[in-house]
């Protein structure tokens, strides 16, 4: 067992609060768990050296940090700094509540035996429970900010319960400075005929280590539209689980990763079709430049009863450099016959014909490359339902491409 | 409809008979002494025994892999007998006339006549019965062309330099648990050498038969195609119907030198166990080929048998412009489990690989494709295309796809696609409305699904494979 | 009405789909060589008639009788009905990837010849026939090598159906909305194919919503099917009448069951 994990367990042993029962069982599991190595399937391409060597500490006092502004949007902000909840929205719209209380959903939606999920169970100091009352549509976006100061360690946890017929838009925003370390897990239950528009932005490149997940449970006729955009860092790992637990639920996931330098980014997307008549559509696109490493694992699991499932996964990657690497593993596990499931994965470089075509029109090679790479990613950004977020993220991605180009 | 298809799938295993042959069989158990005795029975030189013992020590340090999508009780390797041979083979019959007629009858019953007049024209056969090669046909004719085709146990004596050079060169001893075990205890198998610039004048084929109870079969095949040569090799296998599981752990190594081509086809029809999953062969096989410059290796497999299949015929595309292909049909029914696929390791420039995998799951079976495509940093301009299709028949089976795609070269292109489908009521109805009975309709639809793979098989095998699927689907739909 | 000279005889046929009654007392007699058109509003049971006669799963006969050539059709399996001479041209022909048209047709023709006690055709004989059939419906011969209906356009699928009909030489052809989705030119090709197969022995049931197909395939009788039974019968002029008046006059109340189409 790693020293880092031992310290985490030791710290957990000393924490006491209202979640004792659930945490106690997570702690027991954690004490029993194997620290992942290259031979652990879920960590095959993602070494944990960055965690093992992390010097990030739990700070007694944290600086004041503000989340980035997004033009044209006023969020309901739920802000954590170094793992501590520092601010809640002053006024909440009717039907929306945020409480620091026990939730029966805690630790029920994310996978049971994920080592960092368990660490988060026992170390997340403040667990925020967001509830949207039945039939209420919250128009304003709720933003969960996970801000970390240089060298800090913090663990945050949010549980979101969207009752039947309600709707909510959530942005998960992570901003880590310097060599910080964080785990950030969010569990969502989307009630019958409820819907969730979801974003997870992990745009903090650099020395930080960020591990976390967004986990969704969809009840009957629920719908989810999720967009994940990540840059790599010292170690960036996101797990997402979409669990179809009620019939006729519909999920759409678009994910993008853009890596540069020696960054590492790992996205594990798992979809469980436990009941019949649900649909899933996943589009995942990534670009790896310089000496970076991208890892994608996309699993679709169709249970025995999940007849009439429609599930598709498409993963496309561009490899920009001789030193970069892309590892992708789309998986299908199917136990029902009357289903339509497909996945596709490609790794290639930029279409040479398109590149040539642009060049014949007078565009420089590097400019043409930039245009084509951006177009490849932008197709998914265009699909983001909240236009202001798309407007905001587009120039950030453009800058990223420009940087990658310089090297 | 499911019920009809299930009925269609319930079939007799035609190769399930036992031959009344008196055999000399080792007591079950595995230790260094057993390995020494195998080596002794085979009259092996000292270096071969040393190689085996080294492998055994490596194996003792290894653990049985558990990453495959398979579930079976742990195999007790101490309860397996590691050597069994018909007593009549002890005196090494010089010609067919001296071979026990019961052995010849066995192969005839399996559709592989070994008697010269009845032999299939154009196919040379090495017939392996439990732990020994019974007969190898057309040897003289092959020798005229300079082709060596003989039991590997014989090659150890006759061609020690070739064996020393190439055995374990493609699949290293420590490659995996089952390969290491095979290195220690292998008993027989085929050896092929095609000289430079030679196109092998006939198809070569090995037919493996397990007969004796409680034995494992651990054969080893080594094929070397020297520069600019070509060979097409076929492999078939069956076993009696028994309630106990039997272990088969083989190793196949292919070496395709510059500009050479090896086409390796398998029709695997080991006893699959009964409907409830009782009995059947545990089939753990390591097959790998290395391609030098401009060489090509093409694996084609039709897997319909075995209770458990664990098998990944692979290509190491070492030389520039080399080509690897994998065409597979895997049909599982009853309680069969298959975890099969391939690895394509692209090392050289402009290397190309194609993977076409068709999995058909029926009954309560589980059928997985597991594959790896790796583009190494030097694989400039390399290409891979992978297509994995699953067909599910009934709602009690499983079809799975686990592809690993790794690229470290920006100019390499990898494309992977997977789909799943079922035999639809509409398709079945259309066929029946045109007068085709449901059984024939299902087999026609399944055959259509597999067409891309069948067209890769040599003619004789394509017919056999088609029949095998048909038999598998027989008695079906009523 | 029914006598020895009747090819198909449907008597008081009641049938249901998923426990909904669709056919509610259908009566129809067809003599060899006759062409009967069945028209009617959506949901009247037109397509259901074809499926029930051909024996599709899920189409349950509740009561009544159907004989073909004096034999009880309802007792037969789907393929036995086909071998007995019943052919259904589908409205939406299904695709069967990997199974070539040629292979499929050869197997079907062989099965039907075998059922009639005829010798199997050699591949060469069959290929010749198939090529001729292709020509008759303006399908390139290359279509024989393609997967059954795989990637065919709507019109090509319909022509492929007629091509099969030409090869299988059935006694009774049911054309289920064969005109749907076709332009005038494509429809003419299909109609010519059908007309070339008309003779004194072969009978047709032409199921259609619109009158226009009947300009090309002239029916001897026209029946109006509404709410699961024939409410009016007449000669070809009835089709014209319907064209002008529509179907609304037939219905005392709108049908709710839009099960078809």
Distance from the Cα of C55 to chain B's closest Cα (Å) equals: 8
Q: Which residues of B touch A41 (CB under 8 A)?
A: 67
Residue A372: inside a domain, yes or no?
A: no
Other beta carbons less than 10 A from residue B44's beta carbon = 18
The dihedrals phi and psi of B188, each to the nearest 5 degrees, come to -150, -165
Residue C135: inside a domain, yes or no?
A: no
Residue B337: inside a domain, yes or no?
A: yes
Average pLDDT for residues C8-17, to the nearest whole number? 95
Closest by alpha carbon to B446, among B348, B304, B310, B347? B304
Q: Do B400 and B266 share a structural domain?
A: yes
Distance of CA C249 to the CA centre of its chain: 27
CA pair distance A23, A120, nearest whole angstrom: 10
CB spacing of B438 vs C79 below 8 angstroms: yes
Model confidence pLDDT, tens digit, residues A251-279: 999 999 999 999 999 999 999 999 999 99
CA pair distance B222, B74, nearest whole angstrom: 29
Whether the Cβ atoms of residue C54 and residue C87 lie closer than 8 Å to each other: no
Average pLDDT for residues B196-225, to the nearest whole number? 90
Average pLDDT for residues C190-196, to the nearest whole number? 89
Decide if pLDDT at C255 tops 60.
no
CA pair distance C38, C205, nearest whole angstrom: 7
Q: Do B107 and B161 share a structural domain?
A: no
Query: For residue B228, is it left (φ>0), alpha (ψ between -120 and 50) or beta?
Result: left
Q: What is the mean pLDDT of chain A?
A: 92
Model confidence pLDDT, tens digit, residues B212-225: 888 888 999 999 99
pLDDT at A143: 98
Whether the Cβ atoms of residue B381 and residue B350 lie closer than 8 Å to each other: yes
Closest by alpha carbon to A233, among A296, A177, A283, A286? A177
Q: Which residues of B touch A373 (CB under 8 A)?
A: none
Model confidence pLDDT, tens digit, residues B337-360: 999 999 999 999 999 999 999 999
| Interchain CB contact of C115 with B (< 8 Å) | yes
* Partner residues linked to A79 by β-bridges: A87, A145
Residue C79: inside a domain, yes or no?
A: yes
pLDDT at C8: 95
| C242: three-class secondary structure by DSSP | helix
Decide if pLDDT at B7 tops 70.
no
Whether the Cβ atoms of residue B328 and residue B341 lie closer than 8 Å to each other: yes
Strands, DSSP E only, in B116-260? 123-129, 132-136, 148-151, 190-194, 203-209, 220-225, 230-238, 245-256
Distance from the Cα of C251 to chain B's closest Cα (Å) equals: 32
Both structure tokens of C118: 């005829």
pLDDT band at residue A375 using 50, 70 and 90 as cut-offs? confident
Distances (CA, A) of A265 to A34, A187, A325: 22, 21, 11
Q: Which among B410, B418, B422 has the least Cβ separation from residue A342?
A: B418
> Which CATH number is C175's domain given?
3.40.50.300
Closest by alpha carbon to A178, among A220, A147, A156? A147
Q: Which among C77, C97, C108 has the least Cβ separation from residue B448?
A: C97
Residue A78: inside a domain, yes or no?
A: yes
Both structure tokens of A114: 């994920």
The dihedrals phi and psi of A395, each to the nearest 5 degrees, come to -65, -30
Both structure tokens of B454: 């069948």
C75 secondary structure, DSSP code: G
Q: Do B385 and B325 share a structural domain?
A: yes
CB spacing of B1 vs C78 below 8 angstroms: no
Report the percentage of chain A scoring pLDDT > 90: 78
CB spacing of C97 vs B435 below 8 angstroms: no
Closest by alpha carbon to B454, among B286, B291, B331, B293? B331
Residue B225: which residues within 8 A CB-CB, separation 6 or more? B194, B231, B254, B255, B256, B257, B260, B261, B262, B295
Decide if pLDDT at C184 tops 70.
yes
Termini Cα distance of chain C: 33
Decide if pLDDT at B10 tops 70.
no
CA closest to B453 among chain C residues? C98
Report the percentage of chain C scoring pLDDT > 90: 42
Both structure tokens of A375: 């177009």
Average pLDDT for residues A75-103, to the nearest whole number? 93
pLDDT at C85: 92
Decide if pLDDT at C4 tops 60.
no
Report the percentage of chain A scoring pLDDT > 70: 97
Interface of A with B (CB under 8 A): 41, 304, 307, 317, 319-349
Q: How many domains does chain C have?
A: 1
Helix (H) or strand (E) holding A360: helix A352-360
Decide if pLDDT at C3 tops 70.
no
Residue A75: which residues within 8 A CB-CB, separation 6 or more? A140, A141, A142, A143, A171
Decide if pLDDT at A248 tops 70.
yes
Contact call for A and C: 3+ CB–CB distances under 8 Å:
no
Q: Do B267 and B392 share a structural domain?
A: yes
Tell me which of C258 and B70 has the higher pLDDT: B70
pLDDT band at residue B134 using 50, 70 and 90 as cut-offs? confident
Decide if pLDDT at A135 tops 70.
yes
Whether the Cβ atoms of residue B477 and residue B8 lie closer than 8 Å to each other: yes
Decide if pLDDT at A168 tops 90.
yes
pLDDT at C73: 93
Domain of residue B321, residue span: 146-425
Whether the Cβ atoms of residue A252 and residue A227 lie closer than 8 Å to each other: no
pLDDT at B6: 56
Q: Which residue has the tokens 């050896």?
A: B191
Decide if pLDDT at A115 tops 60.
yes
Closest by alpha carbon to B230, among B199, B259, B258? B199
Best interface-test mutation with B: which of C51, C95, C111 has the largest number of B CBs within 10 A? C111
Both structure tokens of A232: 């790599």
Q: How many domains does chain A have?
A: 1
Model confidence pLDDT, tens digit, residues B458-469: 776 666 666 666
Annotate C26-38 with b (16+ C-beta within 10 A) or e (fewer): bbbbbbbebbbbb
Distance from the Cα of A386 to chain B's closest Cα (Å) equals: 32
Decide if pLDDT at B476 tops 50.
no
Closest by alpha carbon to C104, among C75, C146, C132? C146
Residue C125: inside a domain, yes or no?
A: no
The lowest-confidence range among A203-217, B126-140, C157-171 is B126-140
Q: Which residues of B touch C81 (CB under 8 A)?
A: 433
* Partner residues linked to C204 by β-bridges: C35, C173
Domain of residue C178, residue span: 8-92+170-250
Sign of CA dihedral A188, A192, A196, A200: positive
Annotate A161-178 with b (16+ C-beta within 10 A) or e (fewer): bbbbbbbbbbbbbbbbbe
Q: How many domains does chain B have?
A: 2
Residue B7: inside a domain, yes or no?
A: yes
Both structure tokens of B442: 């299902």
State the complex-level ipTM: 0.91
Q: Which residues of C touch B432 (CB under 8 A)?
A: 77-79, 82
Annotate C226-259 with b (16+ C-beta within 10 A) or e (fewer): bbbbbebeeebebbeebeeeebeebeeeebebee
Annotate B88-101 with b (16+ C-beta within 10 A) or e (fewer): bbeeeeeeeeebbe
Report the percentage of chain B scoring pLDDT > 70: 92
Closest by alpha carbon to A397, among A147, A203, A170? A203
Tell me which of B135 and B291 has the higher pLDDT: B291
Domain of residue A228, residue span: 3-350
Contact call for B and C: 3+ CB–CB distances under 8 Å:
yes
pLDDT band at residue B112 using 50, 70 and 90 as cut-offs? confident
Residue C108: inside a domain, yes or no?
A: no
Residue B334: inside a domain, yes or no?
A: yes
Average pLDDT for residues C179-192, to the nearest whole number? 85
Closest by alpha carbon to A218, among A255, A240, A188, A186? A188
Average pLDDT for residues B106-117, to the nearest whole number? 77
pLDDT at A333: 95
One DSSP character per residue, A138-177 reads --SPEEEEEEE-TTBEEEEEEEEEE-TT-EEEEEEEEEE-
pLDDT at A221: 98
Residue C259: inside a domain, yes or no?
A: no
Residue B459: inside a domain, yes or no?
A: no
Q: Which residues of C touch B452 (CB under 8 A)?
A: 98
Other beta carbons less than 10 A from residue A3's beta carbon = 10
Distances (CA, A) of A256 to A260, A282, A390, B187: 14, 11, 13, 53
Query: Within a 13 Å sphere around the CA of B340, how many CA atoms are in the beta-carbon half?
Result: 38
The dihedrals phi and psi of A209, each to the nearest 5 degrees, come to -115, 120
Q: Which residues of B touch A328 (CB under 8 A)?
A: 405
Residue B256: inside a domain, yes or no?
A: yes
| Interchain CB contact of C150 with B (< 8 Å) | no
Closest by alpha carbon to B328, among B457, B459, B460, B453? B453
CA pair distance B476, A18, nearest whole angstrom: 61
Q: What is the mean pLDDT of chain B?
A: 89
Q: Which among C103, C147, C168 has the least Cβ separation from residue B434?
A: C168
Residue A356: inside a domain, yes or no?
A: no
C118 secondary structure, DSSP code: P
CA pair distance B244, B223, nearest whole angstrom: 32
Residue A403: inside a domain, yes or no?
A: no
Termini Cα distance of chain B: 9
């Amino acid at each position: 067992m790693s020293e880092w994990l031992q310290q985490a367990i030791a710290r957990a042993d000393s924490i006491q609060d209202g979640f004792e029962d659930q945490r106690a069982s997570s702690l027991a599991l954690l004490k029993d768990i194997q620290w992942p190595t290259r031979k652990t399937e879920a960590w095959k391409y993602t070494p944990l050296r960055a965690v093992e060597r992390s010097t990030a500490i739990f700070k007694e006092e944290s600086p004041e940090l503000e989340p980035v502004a997004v033009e044209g949007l006023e969020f309901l902000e739920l802000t954590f700094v170094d793992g501590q909840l520092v601010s809640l929205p002053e006024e909440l719209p009717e039907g929306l509540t945020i409480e620091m209380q026990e939730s029966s959903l805690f630790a029920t939606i994310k996978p049971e035996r994920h080592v960092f999920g368990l660490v988060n169970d026992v170390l997340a100091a403040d667990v925020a429970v967001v509830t949207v009352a039945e039939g209420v549509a919250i128009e304003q976006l709720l933003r969960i900010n996970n801000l970390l100061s240089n060298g800090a360690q913090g663990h945050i946890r949010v549980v979101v319960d969207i009752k039947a017929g309600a709707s909510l838009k959530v942005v998960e925003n992570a901003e880590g400075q310097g060599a910080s370390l964080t785990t950030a897990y969010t569990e969502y239950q989307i009630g019958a005929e409820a819907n969730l528009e979801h974003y997870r932005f992990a745009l903090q490149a650099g020395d930080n280590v960020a591990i976390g997940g967004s986990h969704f449970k969809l009840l009957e006729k629920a719908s989810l539209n999720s967009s994940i955009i990540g840059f790599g860092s010292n170690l960036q790992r996101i797990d997402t689980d979409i669990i179809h637990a009620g019939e006729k639920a519909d999920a759409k996931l678009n994910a993008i990763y853009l890596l540069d330098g020696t960054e590492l980014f790992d996205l594990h997307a798992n979809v469980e079709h436990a009941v019949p008549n649900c649909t899933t559509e996943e589009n995942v696109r990534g670009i790896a430049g310089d000496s970076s490493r991208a890892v994608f694992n996309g699993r679709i699991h169709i249970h025995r009863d999940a007849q009439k499932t429609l599930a598709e996964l498409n993963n496309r990657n561009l490899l920009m450099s001789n030193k970069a690497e892309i590892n992708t593993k789309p998986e299908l596990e199917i136990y029902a016959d009357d289903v339509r499931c497909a996945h596709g994965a490609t790794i290639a470089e930029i279409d040479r014909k398109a590149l040539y075509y642009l060049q014949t029109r007078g565009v420089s090679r590097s400019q043409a490359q930039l245009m084509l790479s951006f177009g490849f990613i932008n197709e998914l950004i265009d699909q983001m339902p909240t236009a202001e977020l798309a407007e905001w993220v587009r120039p950030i991605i453009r800058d990223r491409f420009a940087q990658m180009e310089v090297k | 409809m499911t019920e009809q298809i299930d009925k269609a799938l319930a079939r007799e295993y035609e190769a399930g008979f036992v031959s009344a042959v008196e055999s000399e069989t080792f007591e079950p158990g595995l230790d260094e002494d057993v390995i020494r005795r195998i080596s002794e029975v085979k009259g092996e030189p000292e270096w071969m025994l040393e190689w085996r013992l080294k492998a055994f020590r490596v194996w003792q340090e290894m653990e049985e892999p558990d990453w495959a999508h398979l579930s079976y009780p742990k195999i007790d390797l101490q309860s397996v007998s590691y050597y069994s041979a018909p007593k009549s083979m002890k005196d090494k019959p010089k010609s067919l006339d001296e071979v026990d007629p019961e052995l010849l009858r066995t192969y005839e019953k399996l559709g592989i006549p070994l008697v010269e007049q009845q032999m299939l024209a154009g196919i040379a056969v090495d017939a392996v019965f439990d732990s020994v090669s019974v007969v190898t046909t057309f040897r003289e004719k092959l020798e005229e062309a300079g082709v060596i085709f003989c039991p590997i146990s014989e090659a150890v004596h006759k061609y020690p330099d070739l064996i020393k050079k190439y055995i374990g060169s493609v699949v290293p001893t420590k490659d995996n648990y089952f390969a290491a075990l095979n290195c220690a205890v292998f008993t027989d198998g085929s050896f092929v050498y095609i000289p430079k610039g030679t196109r092998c004048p006939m198809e070569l084929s090995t037919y493996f038969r397990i007969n004796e109870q409680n034995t494992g079969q651990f054969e080893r095949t080594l094929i070397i195609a020297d520069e600019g040569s070509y060979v097409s090799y076929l492999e078939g296998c069956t076993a009696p119907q028994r309630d106990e599981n039997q272990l088969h752990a083989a190793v196949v190594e292919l070496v395709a030198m510059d500009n050479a081509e090896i086409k390796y086809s398998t029709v695997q029809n080991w006893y699959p166990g009964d409907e409830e999953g009782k009995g059947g062969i545990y089939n753990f096989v390591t097959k790998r080929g290395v391609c030098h410059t401009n060489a090509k290796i093409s694996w084609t497999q039709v897997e319909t048998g075995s209770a458990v299949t664990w098998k990944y015929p692979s290509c190491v595309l070492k030389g520039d412009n080399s080509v690897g292909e994998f065409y597979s049909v895997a049909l599982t029914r009853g309680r069969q489990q298959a975890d099969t696929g391939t690895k394509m390791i692209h090392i050289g420039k402009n290397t190309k690989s194609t993977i076409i995998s068709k999995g058909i799951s029926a009954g309560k079976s589980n059928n997985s494709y597991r594959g790896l495509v790796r583009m190494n940093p030097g694989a400039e301009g390399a290409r891979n295309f992978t297509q994995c299709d699953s067909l599910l028949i009934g709602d009690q089976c499983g079809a799975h796809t686990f592809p690993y795609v790794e690229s470290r070269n920006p100019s390499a292109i990898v494309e992977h696609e997977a789909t799943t489908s079922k035999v639809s009521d509409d398709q079945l109805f259309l066929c029946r409305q045109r007068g085709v009975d449901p059984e024939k309709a299902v087999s026609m639809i399944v055959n259509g699904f597999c067409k891309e793979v069948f067209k890769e098989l040599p003619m004789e095998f394509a017919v056999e494979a088609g029949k095998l699927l048909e038999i598998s689907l027989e008695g079906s739909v009523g | 009405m029914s006598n020895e000279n009747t090819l198909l005889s449907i008597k008081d046929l009641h049938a249901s789909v998923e426990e909904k009654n669709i056919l509610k007392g259908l009566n129809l007699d067809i003599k060899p060589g006759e062409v009967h058109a069945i028209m009617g509003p959506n949901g009247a049971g037109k397509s259901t008639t074809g499926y029930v006669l051909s024996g599709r799963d899920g189409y349950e006969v509740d009561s009544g009788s159907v004989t073909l050539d004096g034999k009880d059709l309802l007792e037969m399996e789907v393929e036995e009905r086909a071998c007995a001479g019943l052919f259904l041209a589908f409205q939406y022909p299904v695709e069967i990837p990997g199974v070539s048209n040629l292979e499929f047709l050869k197997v079907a023709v062989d099965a039907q010849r075998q059922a009639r006690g005829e010798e199997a055709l050699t591949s060469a004989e069959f290929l010749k026939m198939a090529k001729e059939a292709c020509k008759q419906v303006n399908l390139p011969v290359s279509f024989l090598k393609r997967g059954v209906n795989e990637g065919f356009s709507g019109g090509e699928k319909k022509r492929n159906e007629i091509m099969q009909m030409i090869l299988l030489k059935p006694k009774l052809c049911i054309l289920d909305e064969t005109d749907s989705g076709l332009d005038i030119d494509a429809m003419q090709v299909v109609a010519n194919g059908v007309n070339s197969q008309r003779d004194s022995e072969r009978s047709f049931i032409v199921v259609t919503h619109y009158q226009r197909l009947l300009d090309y395939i002239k029916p001897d009788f026209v029946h109006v099917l509404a709410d699961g039974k024939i409410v009016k019968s007449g000669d070809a002029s009835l089709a014209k009448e319907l064209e002008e008046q529509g179907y609304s006059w037939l219905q005392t109340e709108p049908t709710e069951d839009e099960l078809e189409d």
